[in-house]
Amino acid sequence: MLREKSDNALYASGTQDRAAAAGEEGPAGRDVESAFFRATDGQGLGREDALLLLARAPTEALLQAASSVRERFHGRVISYSKKVFIPLTTLCRDYCGYCTFRKDPGEPGAHFMPPEEVLAAAKQARRAGCKEALFSLGDQPEKIFPEAREFLSRQGFERTLDYLAAMTELTMERTGLLPHANPGVMSAESMRRLRASNVSLGLMLENVSPRLMRAGAAHAEAPDKVPSLRLRTMEEAGRLRIPFTTGILIGIGETLTERVDSLIAIRDLHRRFGHIQEVIIQNFRAKPGIPMAAHPEPSEEEMLRTVAAARLILDGEMNLQAPPNLSYAAFPRLLEAGINDWGGISPVTRDFINPEAPWPEIARLRAATEARGLQLRERLAIYPEFARQPEFVCQTVQPNMEHWIDAEGYAREEGVSLAQGV
């Protein structure tokens, strides 16, 4: 049972402190050893066991359990995707307390990319060997900014999501890259259109807690971060058979219980629709100039414990990712916590969401992976097990997907035919 806390207490950091502050030492009457026993079968931990292990299990034992589940269900392969990051617009109607990406019109960096800029970035990426075009953008800026409406109208659109669909179509047709858009909350109608030019779509759940919408909390000024809206988008994506990427952001004022509940919500959606192709565990990083600049970051240990708990909460076959660039020099330890994917790595663009944190280049990633006896393999923006299920692949993206895919569903070595003339 959670105790009531002040808003300041919500921002307490450090697993032990956070657990104690929240009264989250784990459910009484259950013991850690038997929870571990239930954890390692890969069937997805129950809520009480998960909370118990996250709050109380020794870190090394937690990591070992997670690694063994990863090994049983995913073998020794750790995947990544070679991508270009296309920040279609930095305008956004939300004001998340941790965001440095969004801008208001007139601020340095405020931008809407016109088609020629999108295409230039995609062509450059194509020449550099990328296969994924990751479109990230602010959420529905046209709802509050006349400047966004004017830009869209000059391009012949009323809504950012329609312009996005046109740009992912253009990118796929002209470069052969496989788009993956991550535009925020989407209606079923928008996803139906995006599906025709995106090999997968994404929306971070962030957290299921509506408490984070309260005054002073991370999502107080972010109407699109209402958890029920995001869960609904994820559910609609399941009905439409869209391979879907989601995840949680940790260290933004949530409790351990809310973290566990968020992971269980994702797992339950996957059990209903079978469409969650990857779950990302992202850690909050404080940056100058954001409302949460002074908010404590989760420690390396807290991140590792959460990733490991996620591996044990999710069903064993689910794909678990943590971005290496947000853990800096400690990134190889994420492998010990049971991830089986590093996410998108860009040889051509920096991470516009976390610009201060460069991605480890692919050679370093490979060295760190192989040093732990694991194998690095490039995948596409659709995971192998989804690429093999025809209902998850729209006919319009299939020819491009086939161009890039190998017999096992991973990326095949450099294709050349489409590269010519790009």
- Report, in Å, the least distance between residue 111 CB and ligand SF4: 13
- Report, in Å, the least distance between residue 225 CB and ligand SF4: 7
- Report, in Å, the least distance between residue 190 CB and ligand SF4: 16
- Report, in Å, the least distance between residue 39 CB and ligand SF4: 32
- Report, in Å, the least distance between residue 203 CB and ligand SF4: 10
Closer Cβ to ligand SF4, 222 or 339, answer by number = 222
Closer Cβ to ligand SF4, 97 or 176, answer by number = 97
What is the Cα–Cα distance from 139 to 160, expressed in whole angstroms? 8
- Report, in Å, the least distance between residue 310 CB and ligand SF4: 20
Closer Cβ to ligand SF4, 112 or 383, answer by number = 112
Strands 244-250 and 200-202: parallel
- Report, in Å, the least distance between residue 94 CB and ligand SF4: 4
Yes or no: say if 45 and 259 are a contact pair by the CB < 8 Å rule. Answer: no
What is the Cα–Cα distance from 170 to 160, expressed in whole angstroms? 15
Angle, vertex CA 244, rays to CA 238 and CA 246, nearest 5: 115
Closer Cβ to ligand SF4, 110 or 222, answer by number = 222
**How many CB atoms are located within 10 Å of the residue 102 CB?**
22
Closer Cβ to ligand SF4, 20 or 286, answer by number = 286
Residues forming the site for ligand SF4 (CB under 6 A): 92, 94-96, 99, 101-102, 138-139, 184, 222, 224
- Report, in Å, the least distance between residue 282 CB and ligand SF4: 11
Closer Cβ to ligand SF4, 94 or 378, answer by number = 94
- Report, in Å, the least distance between residue 92 CB and ligand SF4: 3
Closer Cβ to ligand SF4, 92 or 148, answer by number = 92
Which residues have C-beta within 8 Å of that of residue 158, sequence separation ≥ 6?
142, 149, 152
Closer Cβ to ligand SF4, 222 or 397, answer by number = 222
Closer Cβ to ligand SF4, 49 or 139, answer by number = 139
Give the dihedral sign, CA 190/102/207/249.
positive
